[in-house]
Structure 1
């Protein structure tokens, strides 16, 4: 009896120790975020925390359109050198691991995808080097089209982009080799922007398996052995505890700000805040809010490289809109400003990557709102200019008064409760009604009604 009790105790103790030793799985989510320094910091701190708190593994639920190459390098380096298993799961259905996301997925110890997801299109995008020159050339070509005979075509690549391409190919080959993934597919994803569905990626040896949801993922992970730099780990994911790690408040705010669309909106709001302060001195509130908005926009453009041609066009556009309020240009300054804003928004971010550009869904409403605001201000100004002056001597012009002392040709006229010196071109007796023609040197010039 004692022997059986001891055996039961040892079995229970072993099961308990096994569950304790397994540890929880920490989880972070990249919810359609662009890969930039803030997402890089989020992932890096999650790996550090998971290692420090003896987590069994870190699960990255990934959905991203791509991002900055340098940040991707840093993230991949963290994953490759992590001392716990890193599991990348491209989910939910409809998610993607495009561009930078493809590198992160390839670098994971275990890569999985949900059905109806895709990954790839990892062609490196060059930021902030020769984009300005290329953009200006495109503008000149479109605005000043000239027929050029026997002109040699320009090469499709530049020396710098070729260097980046070769470096990225070598890098992705090393990643695929280290994780025993399809090297040929990885290089095609970089060189030819190949993209694959979940099933295609599984068939080609790019990912480890397809999981319908997180529970299915944990079921397939159970018992899988993962080789780390210093040791091997066997995953125990049956009834494992999942501990989510969210963005902290600072990361959440900065993650929103590092978005070209948000930056453009902040820059626009900042302009109108400062314009209101200039036209209404002493109000302070709009001016301070405008200044803060512009500084936040500058922070965003510090991370996402701007195109100087786009910045100049945008600034000129805002200045022309402001000029329309102060100068009577009959709408020409406003029209020029709106055209500059439109082109400036299109060229504002120095990258060919669509997800890093300002969206037309933001540009068009912003320009329409600017049109409405400037139109309303211009209308009010025109109405003010056309409105008859009702105060001071000029306000008497056109009014009707009564002769108090005969005009021959000078005399006195009673009007608006006051007696004025007056003069007419013909004699007008006392009691007659007269109309004021003009006021000069506190003298009324009148005519008989």
Structure 2
């Protein structure tokens, strides 16, 4: 009997030890099964890519949005959300963003957020171009009248009242004054913007009449007013609220009709890389204005003082960067021009030594152009930052070496020309008290002395005047 009890205790102790050994594994499996059964997030998950616009619409913003939309389309996300807070921006950059949105196969929802944000001017166009337009409370949109850089907002041209033609004297009078070129250009710009936003509104069945008012009369609306007037589709407190509201929403993209499933959403944020941040810094209006001034005045100073080099080099680089910032040059063209300028300056350093000014200017231009130009956005086809930095470092060392050797060369004594004759030794070819011939470096020179010189006596040159050398005797012949 005692033997049976001992065996039972032994078996129970072994079972308990094995349970303790696998207890953590069992608990982990239990937790996983519980989450799978009771947590709906483990069901079908929709990936949403979040792209943020915070600030003015610039060439860098356009480039960033294009890369983000391409990333979303190529990596199989189901929804792209542009979180936007912008006062407006450049028309060319705005239209580039809209083209990418309209040609996206993935639905794009533009969400004016967080509270207190705005979608003014160019932001209103982008909101109208999106498949889904949403705003957070306490936000606004509108004021989309196009304004020329450095100018004033164009106002609609109202025709002057036409008097009835019942008088003979009025038949030869012009009925309406012809607008000048500036006013005509403003009218063309205004009508073009109005037609553009109406076409975007008609595409998604939004309020086209108010859209035109936003362009022609700078009309604005709050988020709630925009929803009431069929300008936007949703007002949402946050992203979670937005996903909940648009669940089941049907949109038509470039790939056809799609029904959104946003019950369970996995959020992925598209982060700005160092290149985009660099381009955004260049596109800052204040910096762009300073770059333009430095560029113009640098070239003017170089024109007034040819050969000063530094103002011309700095001015040329700054002017190209300013042209990019103002969207006169596209980022690829600006990069290509900077690389070409860099090569020209580096080659010029070899033919016109400038103590490194041309060389370092060319190196700077080359690196800036490489940063702006080489960005394919395709993994494996991008130029490494390490490679660009290594080339810049190696080029800098080479230019420093050239400057160092040039400085050493300037410190060496002169061995040719008039200055090279000073202190040289020779012998007198004849006896003379004032003028006579001497032999220096195998060359016959006419010499002048203040002391008598005998034939074969050593002499030293003290000065050179035209083709006459001044000498003094050094030893007896």
**TM-score of the superposed pair, with normalisation by structure 2:** 0.49
Match of 1:27 in 2: 50
Distance 1:73 1:271, change over 3 A: closer
Distance in 1, Cα, partners of 2:124 & 2:310:
46
Residues 258, 303 of structure 1: 8 Å contact kept: no
Distance in 2, Cα, partners of 1:162 & 1:285:
44
Residue 296 of structure 1: CA displacement?
3.9
Distance 1:294 1:217, change over 3 A: same
Distance in 2, Cα, partners of 1:272 & 1:168:
35
Q: Which 5+ residue runs of structure 2 have no aligned equivalent?
A: 1-32, 155-175, 300-308, 331-477
Distance in 1, Cα, partners of 2:183 & 2:208:
26
Match of 2:271 in 1: 246
Q: Which 5+ residue runs of structure 1 have no aligned equivalent?
A: 1-7, 135-151, 275-283, 306-449
Distance 1:192 1:285, change over 3 A: closer
- 1:91-106 pair list within 5 angstroms: 91-106=113-128
Q: Does 1:123 align with 2:145?
A: yes
Residue 268 of structure 1: CA displacement?
7.0
Distance in 1, Cα, partners of 2:264 & 2:296:
55
Residues 59, 325 of structure 2: 8 Å contact kept: no
Distance 1:40 1:271, change over 3 A: closer
User: Aligned with 1:158: secondary structure?
Assistant: helix
Distance 1:230 1:162, change over 3 A: same
Deviations 1:38-66 (A, max 9, x none): 21121122111111111011100011111
Distance 1:290 1:159, change over 3 A: closer
Q: Does 1:167 align with 2:192?
A: yes
User: Aligned with 1:50: secondary structure?
Assistant: helix
- Out of 129, 133, 137, which is 1:107 matched to? 129
Q: Does 1:210 align with 2:232?
A: no
Residue 271 of structure 1: CA displacement?
10
Distance in 2, Cα, partners of 1:208 & 1:218:
13
Residues 258, 304 of structure 1: 8 Å contact kept: no
TM-align CA RMSD: 4.1
Q: For the pair shown, which has the larger CA radius of gyration, 1 or 2? A: 2
Distance in 2, Cα, partners of 1:52 & 1:159:
44
**Count of paired positions:** 274
Residues 69, 125 of structure 1: 8 Å contact kept: no
Match of 1:261 in 2: 286
Match of 1:340 in 2: none
Match of 1:199 in 2: 224
Distance in 1, Cα, partners of 2:82 & 2:273:
16
Distance in 2, Cα, partners of 1:181 & 1:190:
15
